[in-house]
């Protein structure tokens, strides 16, 4: 792995805010499969997720809305892909 650490952020068309690619787990999909699919759909980038790093953060927006965010460490693969401009702005 390269010594340089970089982060991928996408700008949402809906909220006009920067953040990480995100989404919900689909039927019979693993967390890693979800992460790979969402990064591909939202940023047009294929990634390889490294084993051994998984960080989970739970938080509440209010008493009724609970959120869970899972982070993985990944690197770009060489495969080209296309950006979905319906979901992201930049």
Consecutive H or E run containing 47: strand 47-60
- From CA 51, how far away is CA 64, in angstroms rounded? 33
- Domain assignment present for residue 89? The answer is no
Q: Which domain holds residue 47?
A: 10-76
Q: What's the average model confidence in pLDDT over 25-47?
A: 92
The yes-or-no verdict on residue 40 having pLDDT over 80 is yes
82 part of a folded domain? no
Whether the predicted pLDDT of 90 surpasses 70 = no
User: Which pLDDT band, with edges at 50, 70 and 90, does 43 fall under?
Assistant: confident
d(CA 65, CA 88): 24
The CATH number given to whatever domain includes residue 44 is 3.90.79.10
Q: How many CA atoms, within 13 angstroms, populate the side-chain half-sphere of residue 74?
A: 23
Rounded to two decimals, the pTM is 0.75
Q: How far is CA 31 from CA 14, 21, 41, in A?
A: 24, 13, 15
Instruction: For residue range 19-30, list pLDDT tens digits in order.
Output: 888 889 999 999
CA distance 8 to 47: 11
Per the structure, the count of domains in the chain is: 1
């Amino acid at each position: 792995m390269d010594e340089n650490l970089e982060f991928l952020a996408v700008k949402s068309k809906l909220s006009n805010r920067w953040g990480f690619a995100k989404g919900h787990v689909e039927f019979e999909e693993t967390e890693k499969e979800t992460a790979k699919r969402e990064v591909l759909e939202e940023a047009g980038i294929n990634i390889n997720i490294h084993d051994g790093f998984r960080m989970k953060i739970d938080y509440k927006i209010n008493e009724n809305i609970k959120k869970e965010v899972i982070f993985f460490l990944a690197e770009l693969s060489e495969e080209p892909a296309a950006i979905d401009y319906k979901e992201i702005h930049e």
